[in-house]
């Protein structure tokens, strides 16, 4: 590993089978491991400091939910077991109502779980593995300030020394996040499709400390949700007994960031709508005002590839909102899909990049849509008794016809089916439910002979 800038001469001397990865975050560091396994020499450039050293960035989403797609990608470089040891399975949702009453919803079948992992911890582990690999060189504090696509040249500014180097690349893999510098260069090419769109909601991280005995103050193996229609809070467990809470909250309006301006207002609001969690958040008001408010962006773009030179992965090509818990999983799946295409096309990069963007773009669009749909569902439909009844009926169908009816959530979370196919299945299921629900007024109606007959007809189609 080297933090020192290269001279131009050194840059030009880079051998032609060396690959360049922009971004040493979750996707960039995993990708480097995949590429190194295929025998390539890899240089990884990361804008931020090495997060394994002092002063790692705070205030970002600290916990992430790893599910099957992510696991498969980690297992592809042989680190599934190692990560599993620091991951906390969450087998069910625990819903907290305004009186502190709890209800429960399993995520899948028995033993199916999503896993709470620390973003920083996982990133550190991936960087450790990358650093230990003799084919990978990590370069921190390197901000990409310019990309010349046609000349295959990068400008990198060392943010510690404020010096700039120019570096050539043969092939550039951009995993540099939602505000990718590489994508910014692609965006200037003719006929580039691009959109960025924000929800009118921000998020705020809050922290539930471990109990006095270092134990979890709520059920450990669960994702906790405080759904409140127009806003909600969630909490994921950490290994040290703490939970990381995230409040998703409108920027403006009656209940909003704009409306809460003083410690007293924050405390009164939480006391009213999240009463059971207030005793667990001793630093609530301080954290509320000191932690940054994050925004929630969806980014779509196309193409992802520039000839056989540049390809975008992860948030750089498909940043999504977090309401399906799939952002990291989708980025990791990019790595395993790309790797399988390198295999399939025998390292013919032009074919690999072309196939990657063609195959993966519909899936990225689908998971982006699903994440927004889940947000809207949470916001608009969660209080609708008909909607809740429908969800119960769907569970019954799934239990009765397990081979014909996998819930959409399971298709996304516990399968490796392409996201676009899951979305199409979900739409089909939704239209079936629209027909069935016309005959169903109560949960018990499901067992009526005529309803059972209708369900059977739908399953046979």
* Binding region for a second copy (CB under 8 A): 187, 190-198, 251, 295, 297
Q: Report d(CA 68, CA 136) in Å as an integer.
A: 27
Q: Which is nearer to a second copy, 255 or 293 (CB)?
A: 293
Contact (CB, 8 A) for 314 and 331: yes
Q: Report d(CA 423, CA 412) in Å as an integer.
A: 8
Phi and psi, residue 244, nearest 5°: -100, 120
Q: Which is nearer to a second copy, 163 or 187 (CB)?
A: 187
Contact (CB, 8 A) for 157 and 143: yes
Q: Which is nearer to a second copy, 193 or 344 (CB)?
A: 193
DSSP state of 7: P
For the bound state, the minimum distance from the C-beta of residue 460 to a second copy, rounded and expressed in Å, comes to 34
Q: How many residues does the chain have?
A: 461
Q: Going by DSSP bridges, is the β-strand pair 153-158/294-302 parallel, antiparallel, or unpaired? A: unpaired
For the bound state, the minimum distance from the C-beta of residue 298 to a second copy, rounded and expressed in Å, comes to 10
For the bound state, the minimum distance from the C-beta of residue 179 to a second copy, rounded and expressed in Å, comes to 9
Point out which residues pair with 206 in neighbouring strands. Answer: 245
For the bound state, the minimum distance from the C-beta of residue 157 to a second copy, rounded and expressed in Å, comes to 16
For the bound state, the minimum distance from the C-beta of residue 193 to a second copy, rounded and expressed in Å, comes to 6
- What would the two tokens of residue 9 be? 């001469």
For the bound state, the minimum distance from the C-beta of residue 178 to a second copy, rounded and expressed in Å, comes to 12
User: Would you give the end-to-end CA distance of the chain in angstroms?
Assistant: 58
Q: Which is nearer to a second copy, 292 or 402 (CB)?
A: 292
Q: Which is nearer to a second copy, 77 or 301 (CB)?
A: 301
Q: Report d(CA 49, CA 384) in Å as an integer.
A: 47
For the bound state, the minimum distance from the C-beta of residue 62 to a second copy, rounded and expressed in Å, comes to 21
Angle (nearest 5°) at CA 177 between 171 and 182: 40
For the bound state, the minimum distance from the C-beta of residue 336 to a second copy, rounded and expressed in Å, comes to 30
For the bound state, the minimum distance from the C-beta of residue 198 to a second copy, rounded and expressed in Å, comes to 4
H-helix or E-strand spanning residue 96: strand 92-96
Contact (CB, 8 A) for 320 and 334: no
Q: Which is nearer to a second copy, 159 or 437 (CB)?
A: 159
Q: Which is nearer to a second copy, 251 or 289 (CB)?
A: 251
For the bound state, the minimum distance from the C-beta of residue 66 to a second copy, rounded and expressed in Å, comes to 28
Q: Which is nearer to a second copy, 81 or 190 (CB)?
A: 190
Q: Which is nearer to a second copy, 198 or 387 (CB)?
A: 198
Q: Report d(CA 65, CA 236) in Å as an integer.
A: 8
Secondary structure class of 140 (helix, strand, coil): coil
For the bound state, the minimum distance from the C-beta of residue 35 to a second copy, rounded and expressed in Å, comes to 31
Q: Report d(CA 245, CA 274) in Å as an integer.
A: 12
Point out which residues pair with 88 in neighbouring strands. Answer: 116
Residues 6 or more apart whose CB falls under 8 angstroms from that of 412 comprise: 324, 326, 367, 370, 419, 422
Residues 6 or more apart whose CB falls under 8 angstroms from that of 351 comprise: 341, 345
For the bound state, the minimum distance from the C-beta of residue 190 to a second copy, rounded and expressed in Å, comes to 6
Going by C-alpha positions, the residue among 301, 302, 311 that lies closest to residue 351 is: 311
Q: Which is nearer to a second copy, 239 or 297 (CB)?
A: 297
Count H helices, E strands: the chain?
15, 19
Q: Report d(CA 237, CA 23) in Å as an integer.
A: 27
Q: Which is nearer to a second copy, 14 or 297 (CB)?
A: 297
Residues 6 or more apart whose CB falls under 8 angstroms from that of 352 comprise: 338, 341, 342, 345
Q: Which is nearer to a second copy, 21 or 186 (CB)?
A: 186
């Amino acid at each position: 590993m080297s933090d020192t800038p290269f001279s131009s001469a050194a840059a030009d001397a880079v051998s032609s089978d060396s690959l360049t990865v922009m971004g040493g975050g979750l996707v960039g560091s995993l990708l480097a491991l995949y590429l190194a396994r295929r025998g390539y020499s890899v240089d990884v450039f990361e804008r931020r400091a090495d997060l394994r050293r002092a002063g790692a960035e705070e205030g970002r989403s600290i916990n992430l939910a790893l599910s099957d797609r992510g696991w498969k990608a980690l297992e592809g470089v042989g680190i599934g077991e190692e990560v599993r040891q620091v991951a906390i399975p969450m087998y069910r949702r625990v819903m907290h109502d305004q009186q502190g009453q709890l209800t429960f919803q399993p995520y899948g079948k028995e033993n199916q779980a999503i896993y709470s992992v620390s973003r920083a911890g996982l990133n550190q582990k991936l960087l450790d593995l990358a650093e230990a690999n003799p084919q990978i060189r990590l370069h921190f504090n390197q901000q990409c300030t310019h990309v010349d696509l046609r000349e295959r040249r990068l400008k990198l500014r060392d943010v510690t020394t404020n010096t700039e180097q120019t570096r050539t690349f043969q092939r550039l893999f951009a995993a540099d996040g939602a505000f990718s510098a590489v994508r910014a260069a692609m965006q200037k090419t003719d006929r580039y499709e691009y959109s960025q769109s924000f929800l009118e909601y921000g998020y705020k991280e809050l922290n539930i400390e471990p109990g006095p005995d270092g134990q979890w103050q709520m059920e450990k193996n669960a994702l906790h949700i405080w759904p409140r229609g127009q806003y909600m809070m969630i909490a994921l467990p950490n290994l040290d007994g703490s939970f990381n809470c995230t409040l998703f909250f409108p920027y403006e309006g009656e209940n909003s960031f704009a409306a809460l301006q003083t410690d007293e207002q924050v405390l009164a609001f939480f006391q009213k709508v999240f009463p059971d969690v207030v005793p667990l958040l001793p630093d609530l008001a301080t954290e509320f005002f000191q932690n940054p408010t994050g925004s929630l962006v969806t980014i779509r773009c196309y193409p992802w590839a520039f000839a056989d030179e540049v390809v975008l992965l992860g948030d750089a090509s498909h940043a999504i909102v977090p309401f399906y818990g799939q952002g990291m999983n989708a980025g990791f799946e990019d790595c395993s899909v790309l790797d399988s295409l390198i295999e399939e096309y025998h390292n013919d990069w032009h074919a690999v990049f072309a196939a990657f963007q063609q195959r993966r773009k519909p899936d990225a669009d689908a998971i982006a849509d699903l994440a927004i749909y889940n947000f809207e569902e949470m916001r608009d439909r969660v209080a609708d008794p008909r909607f809740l009844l429908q969800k119960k009926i769907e569970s019954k169908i799934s239990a009765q016809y397990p081979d014909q009816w996998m819930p959409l959530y399971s298709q996304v979370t516990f399968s490796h089916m392409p996201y676009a196919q899951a979305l199409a299945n979900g739409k089909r299921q939704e239209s079936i439910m629209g027909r069935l629900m016309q005959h169903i007024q109560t949960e018990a109606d499901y067992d009526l002979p005529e309803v059972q007959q209708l369900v059977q007809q739908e399953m046979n189609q």
